[in-house]
Amino acid sequence: MTAPGSLTWAGTLNGLTQELVDTVPADQTYSVDDATGSATGWNVSVDATTFTTTGGTPVPLPNAGTFSTNGSVTSATAATAPSAACASVGTCTLPTDTAVTYPVALTTALAPTPTVVYEAAAGTGLGTVNIGGSTATDPVGWWLTVRADSAPGIYTSTVDINLASGP
């Protein structure tokens, strides 16, 4: 699997709750290469620690679970899956993803639990598959809700994106 190296959000507190999206084109995609030939399918899961300010006395971002993903960089509430495309013609089988409902809420915690964000049913997802992409119809949208009562600061989280065999 090739996942984004980091995710980035930027915003300025304005007294209103804001939905921020990662606008870095390289972060709007990941790829899965299933060259096993087993056709057991696969799933991609994500977990993230609580978003907390750096330095001094750390302050958590209010309202755990403010992190989500879908197939849109224009709407945090879009019920769209990211697009899937074969990296090369004739060398892959596109994944069938029917079990994941978008947007996928990702609960943040000190000891986070992984949540499946994309899957390939058995018999699908063989070969190299690109999920999303900045020029895709439905790029991967990584969303962060920042409430109006959030403390000013730079927040960080450790986000893990994992690949496992089987849907």
Q: What is the pLDDT of residues 18-58, one digit of tens each?
A: 999 999 999 999 999 998 888 899 999 999 999 999 877 88
Handedness of CA 37, 99, 108, 143 (dihedral sign): positive
- The structure's pTM equals 0.92
* In a domain? residue 5: no
* In a domain? residue 25: yes
pLDDT of residue 63: 74
d(CA 60, CA 69): 20
* In a domain? residue 9: no
Domain count, the chain: 1
The predicted-structure confidence for 152-165, as pLDDT tens digits, reads as follows 889 999 999 999 99
Structural domain span for residue 68: 18-165
pLDDT exceeds 70 at position 65: no
**What's 60's DSSP letter?**
B
The predicted-structure confidence for 121-149, as pLDDT tens digits, reads as follows 999 999 999 999 999 999 999 999 999 88
pLDDT of residue 88: 78
* In a domain? residue 11: no
d(CA 134, CA 70): 13
The predicted-structure confidence for 70-119, as pLDDT tens digits, reads as follows 999 999 999 999 999 999 776 799 999 778 999 999 989 889 999 999 99
